[in-house]
Amino acid sequence: MGQYLNSLKKSASGLGGLIFCGCCMKPAVPEGGGGKPGPYKRPPVIINGKQAKTVDIHTHCLFQESIDLMGENGKGIIPPTKGAQEHFIVIEERIKDMDAMGIDMEILSINPYWYKADRDLAEKVCALNNQKLVELCAMAPTRFGAFASLAMQYPDMAVKQLEEAMTKFGLQGAAIGGSVLGDDFCHPKYHPVLAKAEELGATLFIHPQSTPQLESRFKGNGWLANTIGNPLDTTIALEKLIYEGIFDKFPKLKILAAHGGGFLGSYAPRMNRSCYISPSNCNPEIKLKKLPTEYLNQIYFDTLVFTGEALRHLAAQVGPSQLMIGTDWPIPWEEDPVGHIMNTPELTDEDRYNILGANAVKLLNLKI
């Protein structure tokens, strides 16, 4: 953690207004053979004699003070889901949930709801979010890390915010949307942010905000704006980065994609045929150094794909070294993240050890 974070540790006990989730995964069990029931704590995972540290890189929180800055536009920020109120963190309760799921450390992020805000408001919202994230992490620095909030609609500001997050606050990178209100961040105006991320070794965590261009088609049963819209938004974002040559221009850029990278992992090889089939729909000035699918091996993905077979296929496509736990907590999409990894077929013991936490520790330079 940075110098600012270290100074906060000394006064962490006096911090207030920070809340975490309280939906324990298992029923409480008695501790010490009697007395009052205590919270369930999943036993540690031991693989080949080594205890696997478990890191969940896809978890969320909100701060009411930041939402209040949005005024009338703050309505609808809290998601209409189970676990919505638990975005406001009661730290002891969230740790109970983590213990029940067997998670040693969570990396927190806030989905960007400020991309429509004017410059002054966006700056204030992101500054407050980042301050609160640092304060929260200081309260339990071995249990929590965080991705900073950036005002991506103002790239010059986002560059400064990212540098502050990494060099002053000691955060792990930044969370960004799949686009900036439909404007793909592969475009040159966002290159200064990507260049700064590469320079600082900052991970950019892509978390989609649906695909608003398809809003009318998402209406009806099934919450399609999320179930289709979110993974589609991530798929488009990643393919744009690949096809526009971003990974050739910024070869050390660290991109981490939510929800297993959307639909890309399940149908990636189609990319390798598109420009061959239709050269007129491809830019002859962009000459990729590798096959499109080969760039997947330098992108990182969470494991939020629900089944062992889906995770097995994703690992085969992108490589186990690119995967790490993601749950979307406190929204209960994945309630047994450790079991999800341990029960996935065809992974080696080393693969499981790394996916559970070692990959994230290496990528994010974590101290746990």
Q: Which pLDDT tens digit goes with each residue over 187-216? A: 999 999 999 999 999 999 999 999 989 999
In eight-state DSSP terms, residue 208 is -
15 lies in a domain?
Answer: no
Per-residue pLDDT tens over the stretch 103-150: 999 999 999 999 999 999 999 999 999 999 999 999 999 999 999 999
The answer on pLDDT for 80 being more than 50 is yes
Q: Report the number of distinct structural domains present in the chain.
A: 1
The count of other CB atoms within 10 Å of the CB of residue 206 is 24
- Buried b / exposed e over 37-67, threshold 16 CB at 10 Å, is eebbbbeebebeeeebbbbbbbbbbbbeebb
237 lies in a domain?
Answer: yes
The pLDDT score that the predictor gives to residue 38 is: 52
Query: Chain-wide mean pLDDT for the chain?
Result: 91
16 lies in a domain?
Answer: no
64 lies in a domain?
Answer: yes
Per-residue pLDDT tens over the stretch 46-68: 999 999 999 999 999 999 999 99
Question: pTM for the whole thing?
Answer: 0.90
18 lies in a domain?
Answer: no
In eight-state DSSP terms, residue 211 is -
Range list of β-strands (E), the chain? 29-30, 37-38, 45-47, 50-52, 55-60, 105-109, 144-146, 148-149, 173-176, 203-206, 254-257, 300-302, 323-324
Per-residue pLDDT tens over the stretch 6-17: 444 444 433 333
20 lies in a domain?
Answer: no
**CATH number, domain with residue 333:** 3.20.20.140
Per-residue pLDDT tens over the stretch 312-337: 999 999 999 999 999 999 999 999 99
22 lies in a domain?
Answer: no
Helical axes 155-167 vs 119-139, angle rounded to 10°:
20
- Domain limits for position 198: 3-8+45-364
245 lies in a domain?
Answer: yes
